[in-house]
Structures are given as structure tokens and as C-alpha cells.
């Protein structure tokens, strides 16, 4: 991409929730580009994309020549990323939202609000990985607190929305809710058991050590984004019957004493963050109230940990699809594009 040209963009996985959200985000930010290609696997070819301006339809990623574009978003489907992302990166910047390359040490793992400096090592093309939505939200809140007092440990309980597993999971939650309110049984297919009116203490599959894959991802990705390889993170990831918006109960411990007012102040100044006033009981960060305003990671219930010194407890909520996935992806792309202009 030359300094005087507009980027030519492709979105791979355009028919997914995240793919559609990336296209919406490009529109809402009025990002200027020369071309926009919506791509997916054969099952989705020809399907319309929700895009009122361009009237896009989905093209076949297998037949696409990536030398035609400067910037490619891969939107969360690991199989597509594994098959096409590296070849695309030979011609363009590839921003990959899947788990395929997150732990490859040679591939930068980026949260635009936390560690944009790592993009300084990326040239005019190449592969950039994005963390999972839970790791994005967690790192966004922990980063300014670490700069204040030196983060030592984070105990985290997550409350994952079903949209993290795609449209099929959302449809199942809706269908099960209707069925159970009508006196029928839930199907329980997407998560192996009923999700409507239920809480499931498992996100993804279990590993040999008893932790889930998602819990491993939270540990590994958050440490890498914060550049704190020795950080102790103890996570339990839970699926809840919410459509959009991951939530987190976090208990953080620090090297130095933490003044509550200073902690609130540093969070208020943090990039991509909005603090809900701890003095107010009128509003908490909840998916039903704030996931509809998805450009921030929200923090509330901030308070000192009365059981230990140098500790804080707080509640976090962020829209997993729009803020943590699409917004982060487009923010990373804007950093790269602006650098060339």
C-alpha cells in the first residue's frame, strides 16, 4: 500500500457475527478504502451481507487472489485462518481474530487500547493476531492498574455470552427460552446441555489439567498482551444465558498499596475504558444496559479488598463481538493504515 492510496480490504468470514460486525465498524468509522470484498467458504457464497451502502454479497475465499488487497480481516473461524491467513500475509496485512496464531511468538498479539507499540515491528505486510474477547476486556482494565501499582495476581470469574459461540448458539438460546416458557423441553445441542435459564461452568472443552481451553487462553493471552509472563491468573470461565456482553468478577492483587481514588482515576484515564461511578447504585455495567453501547470496556463495583492488603475487587463488562472483536480489529487496522499516510 502506497502512502497516497486508499487500502483495498477483504473480510474473510463475512457471514459470521464478527465478520458482519467488522463491516459495520468500517462503515460507522467512515474508514476510507478503495475496495471492500466480503469472503467466506463455499457454504455462504452468494449470500447478501448486511451493508446498505455497497450491497455486498459473499465471494468464495478459495478462489480469491489476495494480491488484490492490502488489508485482510479474518473473523474468528480458525479453520479459515489456518488455511488462508499465512498465504494472504505474503501480500497484505492480515488481522486474524481466530486462535490459530495467538501463541506464535513471531506473530504480534495486539489489543489496540493496550499494546499498540508492538505494531511498530510490522512492515508493509504480515500477520497480526488478536486475543479472544475475554482477554481483550481483561487486559484493557488490568493494564492501567498495573502501571499504577504493579499487578501480581488476578482472580477472575467470567460470565460468557452465548454469542461467543456464534449465531447457532444465539438461535438455540432464543429457541430454548421460547420452548421452556411454552412447557417444552430444551434441546441442549450447542453447549451439550440446556443454556436457557441455566449457568454452565465450562467454556470450550476441558484440558488434561482440569482447566478449560478458554481458561488457558485467558491466562496465556492476557500475560502476553500485558508483557507479564509470570503474572498469576486464576480463571473460571462460565457460560450464561445472555446474548451479547461478557462480564467478569475480578479480584486483583498488587506489589504496592493501592489507593482507591487513585485506582479509579487511572481507570478513568485508561484507553477504551469507562468507569461507572462507585458511589452510584443507579447503574452497574450490565449486558442488558451497556452492551448496546459497545465502544468501551465498562468497569464498576470498584472497591478495596477488605480480606487482604494491596487488593482491589471490581466488575467488568464489554460487548464481546463489537467492542472486543470488531472494534479492536478495525482499531489495529487504522493504526497500520495511518502509519503509511
pLDDT at 290: 82
**Co-location of 174 and 114 in the same domain:** no
**Co-location of 156 and 295 in the same domain:** yes
Q: Are the CB atoms for 85 and 112 separated by under 8 Å?
A: no
**Co-location of 301 and 158 in the same domain:** yes
**Co-location of 192 and 243 in the same domain:** yes
Instruction: Tell whether 2 is covered by a domain.
Output: no
Interatomic CA distance for residues 267 and 149, integer angstroms: 12
**Co-location of 285 and 215 in the same domain:** yes
Alpha helix ranges (H) inside the chain: 17-28, 78-88, 133-149, 167-181, 213-226, 260-268, 287-290, 328-339
Region of 33 on the Ramachandran plot (φ > 0 left; ψ -120 to 50 alpha; else beta): beta
How many domains are there within the chain?
2
**Co-location of 53 and 111 in the same domain:** yes
pLDDT at 43: 87
Q: What CATH number is attached to the domain comprising 229?
A: 3.30.360.10
pLDDT at 1: 66
pLDDT at 11: 97
- DSSP, collapsed to helix, strand or coil, labels residue 74 as strand
**Co-location of 265 and 161 in the same domain:** yes
Alpha-carbon separation of residue 115 from 38, 67, 227, 290 (angstroms): 28, 29, 9, 25
Domain membership of residue 32 as a residue range: 8-131+325-339
Going by their DSSP bridges, the two strands 246-254 and 126-129 should be labelled as unpaired
Instruction: Tell whether 106 is covered by a domain.
Output: yes
Distance from chain centroid for Cα 52: 25
Model confidence pLDDT, tens digit, residues 255-305: 999 999 999 999 999 999 999 976 666 578 899 988 777 789 999 999 999
Closest by Cα among 73, 23, 74, 75 to 53: 23
Q: Are the CB atoms for 101 and 40 separated by under 8 Å?
A: no
Instruction: Tell whether 1 is covered by a domain.
Output: no
pLDDT at 282: 56
Q: Are the CB atoms for 86 and 65 separated by under 8 Å?
A: no
**Co-location of 152 and 183 in the same domain:** yes
**Co-location of 166 and 118 in the same domain:** no
**Co-location of 64 and 25 in the same domain:** yes
User: 37-68 b/e with 16+ CB inside 10 Å = b?
Assistant: bbbbbeebbeeebebeeeebebbebeebebee
Instruction: Tell whether 61 is covered by a domain.
Output: yes
Instruction: Tell whether 244 is covered by a domain.
Output: yes
For the chain, list residues with pLDDT below 70: 1-4, 50-54, 278-282, 341
- Which grid cell sits at 305? 479488598
**Co-location of 303 and 332 in the same domain:** no
Instruction: Tell whether 26 is covered by a domain.
Output: yes
Q: Considering only CA atoms, give the Rg of the chain.
A: 20
**Co-location of 51 and 114 in the same domain:** yes
Instruction: Tell whether 103 is covered by a domain.
Output: yes
Q: Are the CB atoms for 226 and 146 separated by under 8 Å?
A: yes
Q: What CATH number is attached to the domain comprising 36?
A: 3.40.50.720
H-helix or E-strand containing 251? strand 246-254
**Positive or negative, the Cα torsion across 75, 120, 25, 71?**
negative
Amino acid at each position: 500500500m502506497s502512502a497516497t492510496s486508499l487500502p483495498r480490504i477483504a473480510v474473510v468470514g463475512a457471514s459470521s457475527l464478527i465478520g458482519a460486525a467488522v463491516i459495520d465498524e468500517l462503515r460507522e468509522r467512515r474508514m476510507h478504502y478503495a475496495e471492500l470484498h466480503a469472503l467466506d467458504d463455499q457454504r455462504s457464497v452468494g449470500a447478501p451481507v448486511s451493508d446498505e451502502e455497497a450491497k455486498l454479497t459473499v465471494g468464495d475465499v478459495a478462489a480469491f487472489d489476495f494480491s488484490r488487497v492490502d488489508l485482510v480481516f479474518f473473523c474468528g473461524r480458525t479453520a479459515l485462518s489456518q488455511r488462508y491467513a499465512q498465504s494472504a500475509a505474503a501480500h497484505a496485512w492480515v488481522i486474524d481474530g481466530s486462535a490459530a496464531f495467538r501463541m506464535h511468538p513471531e506473530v504480534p498479539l495486539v489489543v489496540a487500547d493496550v499494546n499498540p507499540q508492538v505494531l511498530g515491528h510490522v512492515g508493509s505486510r504480515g500477520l497480526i493476531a488478536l486475543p479472544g474477547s475475554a482477554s481483550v476486556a481483561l487486559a484493557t482494565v488490568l493494564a492501567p492498574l498495573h502501571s499504577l501499582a504493579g499487578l501480581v495476581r488476578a482472580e477472575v470469574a467470567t460470565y460468557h455470552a452465548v454469542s461467543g459461540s456464534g449465531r447457532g448458539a444465539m438461535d438455540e438460546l432464543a429457541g430454548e427460552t421460547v420452548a421452556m416458557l411454552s412447557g417444552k423441553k430444551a434441546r441442549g445441542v450447542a453447549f451439550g446441555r440446556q443454556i436457557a435459564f441455566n449457568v454452565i461452568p465450562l467454556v470450550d472443552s476441558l484440558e488434561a489439567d482440569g482447566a478449560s481451553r478458554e481458561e488457558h487462553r485467558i491466562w496465556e493471552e492476557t500475560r502476553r498482551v500485558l508483557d507479564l509472563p509470570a503474572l498469576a491468573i486464576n480463571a473460571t470461565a462460565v457460560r450464561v444465558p445472555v446474548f451479547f456482553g461478557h462480564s467478569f468478577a475480578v479480584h486483583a492483587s498488587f506489589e504496592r498499596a493501592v489507593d482507591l481514588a487513585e485506582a479509579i482515576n487511572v481507570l478513568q484515564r485508561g484507553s477504551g475504558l469507562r468507569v461507572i461511578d462507585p458511589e452510584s447504585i443507579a447503574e452497574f455495567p450490565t449486558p442488558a444496559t451497556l452492551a448496546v453501547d459497545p465502544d468501551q470496556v465498562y468497569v464498576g463495583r470498584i472497591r478495596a479488598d477488605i480480606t487482604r492488603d494491596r487488593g482491589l475487587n471490581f466488575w467488568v463488562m464489554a460487548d464481546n463481538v463489537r467492542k472486543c472483536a470488531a472494534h479492536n480489529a478495525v482499531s489495529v487496522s487504522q493504526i497500520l493504515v495511518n502509519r503509511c499516510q
